[in-house]
């Protein structure tokens, strides 16, 4: 019995320096891992990553299962435990936590291979339709999805779960069953257990039919997105005001996707119009929250920032290796740093002074001059050398004489 993957997709995977496989221990990811390991050119690049959510009493057993499977296959295995903040909206919290780990673990140019299959694709289509996420949402999941520094690839998207199950049984492979998959309080499980079987009883080929609908939506979405360029983490209010509402919505959705966020529904887009683009009180600093991020406007610029970023003062022990998104670039001008110096990254407490262009200035005043929004000032890394503020990463570096001069920038 064969489970055939797209040969062009396999060739594309061979171009990546490292391939990470999201391994939950469930049927789909276990089959995906063992199938890809049958390709020698891929196996030497594969590492499996398991996210321990800590939600099930069996979570430790699942981690051990995944670890033993990887030992048996002879591939690298990594695991990361995440802590979810509350018990509400667990589906979404778990998804955000997983992708936060992926963002941290994967390096520039890596591939992340996930085991979503055709049934998952159909469920995603329905969930997005019910949330009102527009044409991009109805496009569901792409097979290949480039993120900022890595690429997501889903080889099973055209394959029904039933075929994956039959293949696993034929080979007598083992996998774990997540008991939460039977809990219909979760939206996806409700669709899977209650709604889709009812649809299948009337429309037997609904998966194939809806996959054609999804493909058509993807074609339209691709065409529209080709005509809208988002190349900056920020949106200019004037650029949005210069176009019609249809184009505004497309720009905002593409901007969210640029940041790796779930596509906003019509209510969120309407809130951006009413509270940020056309506020009744221009002096009111409105915040709109969505998918673990907040959106604000400052000096006619829209900013989108993740809520879950935590900032801690740190000693830069491995200087000049990147730390907290800061990198030190050797330069003909900048701060002189030797191996004996203590380099630290700190964050604003208030009252800091910085020597800039021959004078001492309050950091607050400089931030105002540089146009840094108040809600971002606590997040700007400050570089201290032997206890003295020497640079504001991404904005200004003290100019000193001497050797081993560094300039500090943000990734």
Instruction: Tell me how far CA of residue 8 lies from CA of 15, 35, 109, in angstroms.
Output: 11, 16, 19
- pLDDT value for 86: 60
Stated length of the chain = 411
The DSSP bridge partners found for residue 80 are 51
228-245 per-position pLDDT tens digit: 877 778 999 999 999 998
Q: Tell me where in the chain the CATH 1.20.59.20 domain(s) lie.
A: 231-306
Cα–Cα distance for residue pair 109/16, rounded to 1 Å: 7
Cα–Cα distance for residue pair 257/261, rounded to 1 Å: 5
- pLDDT value for 310: 60
Angle made by CA atoms 29, 149, 300, in degrees to the nearest 5: 125
Q: Which residues of the chain have pLDDT under 70?
A: 85-88, 283, 308-311
- pLDDT value for 325: 80
- pLDDT value for 97: 85
- pLDDT value for 313: 85
The residue behind tokens 């089959």 is 31
Contacts 24+ apart (CB under 8 A), 347-351: 347/311, 347/312, 347/313, 347/378, 347/379, 347/380, 347/381, 347/382, 348/377, 348/378, 348/380, 348/382
Please confirm whether the linkage preceding 33 is cis (ω < 30° from 0): no
Class of domain 7-224: alpha beta
82-139 per-position pLDDT tens digit: 887 666 677 888 888 898 899 889 999 999 999 999 999 999 999 999 988 888 889 9
- pLDDT value for 333: 85
- pLDDT value for 376: 86
32-66: burial string, b at 16+ Cβ within 10 Å, e else = bbbbbbeeeebeebbbbbbbbbeeeeebeebbebb
- pLDDT value for 226: 79
- Does domain 231-306 fall under CATH 1.20.59.20? My reply is yes
- pLDDT value for 132: 83
Q: Tell me where in the chain the CATH 3.40.50.620 domain(s) lie.
A: 7-224
Residue 325, C-beta contacts closer than 8 angstroms, at least 6 positions apart = 381, 410, 411
Q: Are 104 and 110 in contact (CB under 8 A)?
A: no
């Amino acid at each position: 019995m064969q489970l055939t993957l797209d040969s062009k997709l396999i060739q594309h995977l061979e171009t990546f320096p490292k391939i990470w496989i999201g391994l939950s221990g469930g049927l789909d990811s276990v089959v995906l891992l063992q199938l890809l390991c049958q390709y020698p050119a891929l196996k030497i690049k594969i590492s499996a990553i398991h996210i321990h959510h800590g939600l099930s009493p069996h979570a430790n057993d699942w981690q051990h299962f995944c670890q033993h499977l990887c030992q048996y296959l002879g591939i690298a295995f990594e695991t990361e435990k995440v802590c979810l903040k509350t018990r509400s909206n667990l589906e979404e919290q778990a998804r955000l936590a997983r992708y936060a780990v992926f963002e941290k673990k994967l390096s520039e140019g890596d591939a992340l291979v996930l085991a979503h299959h055709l049934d998952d694709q159909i469920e995603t289509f329905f969930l997005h339709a019910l949330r009102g996420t527009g044409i991009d949402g109805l496009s569901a999941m792409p097979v290949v999805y480039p993120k900022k520094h890595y690429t997501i690839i889903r080889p099973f998207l055209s394959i029904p779960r039933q075929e994956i199950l039959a293949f696993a049984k034929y080979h007598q492979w083992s996998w774990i069953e997540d008991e939460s998959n039977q809990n219909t309080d979760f939206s996806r499980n409700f669709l899977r257990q209650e709604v889709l079987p009812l649809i299948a009883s009337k429309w037997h080929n609904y998966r194939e039919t809806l996959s054609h609908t999804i493909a058509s939506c993807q074609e339209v979405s691709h065409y529209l997105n080709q005509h809208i360029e988002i190349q900056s983490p920020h949106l200019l209010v004037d650029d949005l005001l210069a176009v019609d509402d249809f184009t505004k919505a497309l720009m905002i959705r593409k901007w969210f996707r640029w940041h790796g966020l779930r596509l906003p529904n019509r209510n969120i887009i309407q809130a951006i119009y009413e509270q940020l683009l056309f506020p009744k009180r221009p002096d009111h600093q409105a915040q709109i929250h969505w998918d673990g991020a907040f959106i604000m406007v400052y000096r006619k610029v829209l900013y989108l920032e993740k809520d879950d970023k935590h900032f801690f003062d740190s000693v830069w022990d491995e200087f000049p290796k990147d730390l907290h998104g800061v990198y030190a670039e050797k330069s003909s001008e900048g701060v002189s740093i030797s191996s004996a110096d203590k380099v630290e990254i700190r964050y604003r407490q208030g009252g800091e002074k910085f020597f800039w262009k021959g004078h001492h200035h309050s950091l607050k005043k400089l931030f105002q001059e540089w146009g840094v929004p108040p809600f971002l000032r606590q997040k700007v890394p400050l570089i201290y050398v032997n206890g003295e503020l020497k640079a504001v990463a991404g904005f200004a570096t003290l100019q000193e004489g001497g050797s081993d001069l560094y300039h500090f920038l943000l990734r």
